[in-house]
Structure 1
Amino acid sequence: MKKNILYIVAIAASTQIFTSCRKQLDVNPRERILETGYYKTPAEALTSLISVYDILGNQSSGYLTKVNILSAGCDDHFAGGDSPSDIGDLQTINNYTLTSTSGAASHLWSKGFTGVYRANVFLQKVANAGLDEATKTRYIAEVKALRAIYYFDLVKLFKNVPLLTEVVEPSAMYDVLQAPADQVYALVIKDLTEAIPNLPPTVPANTQGGRLTQGAAHAVLGKVYMWQQKWAEAAAEFALVNGPSPGASPYGYKLLTNYADLWNVKNKFNSESILEIVFNTTSDMGWGTVGSREGNVMGILVGPRNYVPLIAAQAPDYVSGWSFMPFTKDFFDQIHFDPRNKATVANLDSLEKAGIVTYKHANANTGYFIEKYAGRTSTKAAIGQLELNFGQDMYEIRLADTYLLEAESLLKSGAAVGAGTKAYTMFNAVRARVGLNPLPVTMDNLMRERRLELAAEGHRWFDLVRWGLAPTVLAGKGFKAGKNEIFPIPERELANSKIVQSKEWGGTK
């Protein structure tokens, strides 16, 4: 934690979160600016704010992201890659051989605490940046909500984490202690509830797309209550996001008519997007700067390896990729005859059997790849290392997610869920969007709907853990009950500090 929390400079590697800020953010991400001389002007405050947002889409230099780590660990995917050792940190979560020295655990810990550190520095320094009161109030609300998001992930993933609300001085860095999980959740709830009134209800997508709104903060708070099994509180938060009926959100959220349009790279910040992680094709990321710029590496990771079109007129324009995160046969069997299949699965198995394409049958190949993020020649960057600079945004939260969560929280709170009820209409609005007939609101139906609707979007592993099903569903991958529900605290955080390993991983905490 010494490096990760205390010495990460808050304004390093800022990203183009807001399209209106491109000029301000045209900086060399390897430059470092001393914190002591910063936060003196409104422009510096904005750049610092953007640096806190930057961690939402953080990617490691080893191609690790929150989404691909959790996807590799769930039952919908294999880690894949060229061989069983390709990006070994993904392989260890795929087969549950990860340890406290795993890069996957280190990335998730570092990602979370980098965000917390940057947020704390901002909150400590922003008063002296010369902002008008309204702007300062909004910035503080955004940063508190972001700190809540980072801590929410940390407490879900590691359970036993330090609770830092101020910048820790170097002289005290070895004495930081972990806090009980309920105290972390209390801070998350406090940050969100304090932030919500000072966040804007909506933002203009063309100039501020990606910034936090009241709806996004309510959605996060609803998820926090779900993890605490506070069903009525969760339902109340989702009701504020979703509105009284489908399409009637006070924030203007609506399901897109065409499911596939969610992954049109030109359809950023659409009406279904609640919290979106922004990427672009112009940051010029190269092999030496992987993870430090704003191209989405998922485009190259999930594409079929050695992809060759044989009949160009019939072959999709996929870019030859690295074959990570192929869907399992079990998942494909579940979605095969569902209307969301084509927008979700790149079916190389069928294309190859039809003689339209060839590709390498790499590690754990099933023939079923992720269509949602697949890099294409029509969407690749015009400059830089083309493989690394795809501009496909990713959803942290979208409306179908909150519709399904409201239905689930109502069911678990004991509310009525029959035809005509709020739970029924929200659940079946998700199905109706893709032309499916209504079903009753049961846990089995909700779980299947979340699996198919939100496939490859980073929700499945969390859902299985939250439902208590991970030990059963993931047993074949090596998941151990009472252990793998959380990640081990990275070994480098334990050395010369008072942080101790969780008891699930052989420690005493």
Structure 2
Amino acid sequence: MKKTYIYSIVLMAFVFFTTSCEDKLEEELFNSYGSSNFPTNETAEILLAEAYADYARAYNNHRMGWAIEMPTPAMQYRSRRSLQLVRHNLSTWTWSTQFADPAYFEMLTTIFFGVRTANDAIGLISTLETDNIERRDAMVAEAKVLRALAYFNMVRLWGGMPIIDKAQTLDDDLFPARASIPETYAFIVQGLQEAIPDLPTRSGYMAQGIPAGHITKGVAQGILAKVYLTMAGDPLGDASNLQEARNLLEAIINSGEWGLVQSATPYKDLWDWQNEFNNERMFDIQKESQGRTTGQNLRMIFGYMTPPLVSEDIWASGANPNSRGAGLDGIPPEYAKWYESHDSGPRYQWTIVTEFIAQSNFGKFRAGDLYHMEDGRDGQAHIGKYRALGAELEDRFYCPNNFPVLRYADILLMHSEVTNELGAADYTGINATRERAGLPALSGLSQDDFRDAVFLERELELAYEQNLLFDMRRRGFAYCQSRLNGFFQPNQNETSPGAGDGYQVDYSITNLTEPHRMLYPYPPRELASNPNLEQNPGY
């Protein structure tokens, strides 16, 4: 199997260097990888970079955006003229053979490719003979966190997963059965617990000259805290680790390594595509990590989210036709109004854009027309959080933004949540994010009311960062059902946002609110390739 590893690393080295700078493309580079000196410090870093890249390819693309954002009230596909077919199927994710989007069938394959690369990195880098043992162990720990993140997303989407904890050979079981949900979470927790002691802090990385963007101790602690909070909710209901989650979150807060962006224009500065390594962005998927050679996977979430129209000082300059998005994914007008009813200040204004000037002909609109989210069946709002002010885009599916996996505002809100669940709510975190948004501080709430307030604040603050679906699901089926009923049949519920707006009922939600849809069906392609896998109940 050594020859296989050597071939793989040469291939990865080629990808890495062809997406960096051409002056490193020297014949000697490829000649240096032989059985006697592999891995080296250089090749270990390359392999780790590829593990980051494979994680990025799996999650920073429109397919994962559809899977995690579309089945919530917060996003729709195209405009209402296509809702009866497209949004219905994307939101319920029935994935029938008649309507299934091909993207769905590839998602799990792509994620497991990243797991395989992380396992390669863990196994091979562990054997590295080096004087810098600290860096070697940190690289292994970073790969373990990437693998844990992959499994954390998979278990929340599909349930229990096959546990693959090392690079596979022909001597291994190549058809592993699915572990249970508790077993999958135990694997995630174990990997994160193993990683945390070997990871430097943010300042520790800086002292070593390690570039920004690597997974730090605080990042791993924050992810583990989120895992514990998720385990406390549906379906496990295991609250045994909530005190440890609090300890982890307070370690991050007390470290002084991170903080909320505070300025005259905090949301602009937080999301500025040229200021992405600020103190609040703890771990991002970096746009550069994906290269520009892998085609469809690089059509990232943002290109599908951003509008085909622009407004002056709101979006890109528009000098280049590609400086606007594809306009495929947007925000239902009723959800934009719901958001505004809870927060109409600078956070709302930066998160959701409701009005545009047509830069070219679009449907019934002509260049120069004002286009509003409520303009009939063509109307929708768009996500403003990832706007790229002044950027000249390479194509309309690409934006020069990193994608947040974990940021400090999430840490503060998790801390407020966990203290409330432990019986003594700490308002510091939730009031910090509310104060920045220009909202009044909270106090004196009951435990149930405080819980609702935290989840509301999470929805407002972390919108379109792939949190809402998971937050809904961990609150259970009845909560999901109530949220979706209120938004997706607005004209049958006169107390809901959008009621009486003249639109037809968006679509039937019968399938969407069936209990078994709290998990997605296991992809048919995976079932066909492994006879030991079983489909989730109800599909």
Aligned to 2:280: 272
The alignment status of 1:94 with 2:91, answered yes or no, reads: yes
Residue 460 of structure 1: how far off its partner (Å): 0.8
Residue 393 of structure 1: how far off its partner (Å): 0.9
The alignment status of 1:198 with 2:198, answered yes or no, reads: yes
Aligned CA distance change for structure 1 residues 394 and 9 (closer, same or farther; 3 Å): same
Match of 1:239 among 245, 250, 262: 250
Flag the structure with larger Rg: 2
Residue 350 of structure 1: how far off its partner (Å): 8.8
Q: Which amino acid aligns with 1:371?
A: G
Question: 2: distance between equivalents of 1:252 and 1:174?
Answer: 42
Question: 2: distance between equivalents of 1:17 and 1:346?
Answer: 37
Question: 1: distance between equivalents of 2:88 and 2:262?
Answer: 35
Aligned CA distance change for structure 1 residues 364 and 42 (closer, same or farther; 3 Å): farther
Higher normalized contact order (CA 8 Å, seq sep 6+, divided by chain length): 1
Deviations 1:444-486 (A, max 9, x none): 2112211111111111111111111223322444413322211
Over the aligned positions, Cα root-mean-square deviation in angstroms equals: 4.0
Residue 39 of structure 1: how far off its partner (Å): 4.1
Q: Which amino acid aligns with 1:145?
A: V
Aligned CA distance change for structure 1 residues 223 and 10 (closer, same or farther; 3 Å): farther
Match of 1:392 among 394, 401, 409: 401
The alignment status of 1:224 with 2:221, answered yes or no, reads: no
Residue 141 of structure 1: how far off its partner (Å): 1.1
Aligned to 2:120: 121
Greater shift, 233-242 or 136-145, is seen at 233-242
Question: 2: distance between equivalents of 1:402 and 1:142?
Answer: 20
Question: 1: distance between equivalents of 2:296 and 2:34?
Answer: 28
Aligned CA distance change for structure 1 residues 83 and 163 (closer, same or farther; 3 Å): farther
Aligned to 1:379: 391
The alignment status of 1:470 with 2:470, answered yes or no, reads: no
Match of 1:346 among 344, 353, 361: 353
The alignment status of 1:175 with 2:182, answered yes or no, reads: no
- Report the secondary structure of 1:274's partner residue: strand
Question: 2: distance between equivalents of 1:281 and 1:164?
Answer: 24
Residue 429 of structure 1: how far off its partner (Å): 0.6
Aligned CA distance change for structure 1 residues 47 and 322 (closer, same or farther; 3 Å): same
- Report the secondary structure of 2:353's partner residue: strand
Deviations 1:186-210 (A, max 9, x none): 1211111111111011133995111
Residue 11 of structure 1: how far off its partner (Å): 7.3
Residue 93 of structure 1: how far off its partner (Å): 2.5
- Matched-pair contact (CA < 8 Å) for 1:162–1:176: yes
Aligned CA distance change for structure 1 residues 10 and 320 (closer, same or farther; 3 Å): same
Match of 2:333 among 314, 329, 332: 329
Greater shift, 356-365 or 46-55, is seen at 356-365
- Matched-pair contact (CA < 8 Å) for 1:226–1:234: yes
Residue 218 of structure 1: how far off its partner (Å): 0.4
Q: Which amino acid aligns with 2:200?
A: P
The alignment status of 1:140 with 2:173, answered yes or no, reads: no
Aligned to 2:235: none
- Report the secondary structure of 1:43's partner residue: helix
Kindly report which structure 2 residues correspond to 1:102-501, keeping only aligned pairs within 5 A, or say none: 102-132=101-131, 133-170=133-170, 172-202=172-202, 203-204=205-206, 208-229=211-232, 230=239, 231-243=242-254, 249-257=255-263, 258-280=266-288, 283-284=291-292, 289-291=295-297, 297-305=300-308, 307=309, 317=317, 319-336=323-340, 337-348=344-355, 357-358=369-370, 365-375=378-388, 378-381=390-393, 385-414=394-423, 416-417=424-425, 423-440=426-443, 442-468=450-476, 469-475=479-485, 476=488, 477=509, 478-501=511-534
Residue 221 of structure 1: how far off its partner (Å): 0.3
Aligned to 1:420: none
- Report the secondary structure of 1:455's partner residue: coil
- Report the secondary structure of 1:176's partner residue: coil
Q: What runs of 5+ residues in structure 1 fail to find an aligned partner?
A: 1-5, 244-248, 418-422
Aligned CA distance change for structure 1 residues 443 and 150 (closer, same or farther; 3 Å): same
Question: 1: distance between equivalents of 2:403 and 2:152?
Answer: 19
Residue 315 of structure 1: how far off its partner (Å): 8.2
Question: 2: distance between equivalents of 1:304 and 1:497?
Answer: 41
Q: What runs of 5+ residues in structure 2 fail to find an aligned partner?
A: 233-238, 360-364, 489-508
Question: 1: distance between equivalents of 2:252 and 2:106?
Answer: 31
Aligned to 2:496: none
Aligned CA distance change for structure 1 residues 317 and 267 (closer, same or farther; 3 Å): same
- Report the secondary structure of 1:386's partner residue: coil
Deviations 1:157-189 (A, max 9, x none): 111210111222235455311112212211211
- Matched-pair contact (CA < 8 Å) for 2:357–2:370: no
Residue 261 of structure 1: how far off its partner (Å): 1.5
Q: Which amino acid aligns with 1:344?
A: T
Question: 2: distance between equivalents of 1:359 and 1:263?
Answer: 24
Aligned length in residues: 469
- Matched-pair contact (CA < 8 Å) for 1:265–1:391: yes
- Matched-pair contact (CA < 8 Å) for 1:344–1:370: yes
Aligned CA distance change for structure 1 residues 193 and 59 (closer, same or farther; 3 Å): closer
Deviations 1:29-52 (A, max 9, x none): xxx99x996943221111110111
Residue 112 of structure 1: how far off its partner (Å): 2.6
Question: 2: distance between equivalents of 1:26 and 1:156?
Answer: 41
TM-score by length of 2: 0.76
Q: Which amino acid aligns with 1:329?
A: P
The alignment status of 1:84 with 2:82, answered yes or no, reads: yes
Question: 1: distance between equivalents of 2:260 and 2:49?
Answer: 27
Aligned CA distance change for structure 1 residues 283 and 503 (closer, same or farther; 3 Å): closer
Question: 2: distance between equivalents of 1:17 and 1:463?
Answer: 36
The structure richer in helix per residue is: 2
Residue 238 of structure 1: how far off its partner (Å): 1.5
Question: 1: distance between equivalents of 2:64 and 2:190?
Answer: 25
Q: Which amino acid aligns with 1:250?
A: G
Residue 60 of structure 1: how far off its partner (Å): 8.6
Residue 265 of structure 1: how far off its partner (Å): 0.8
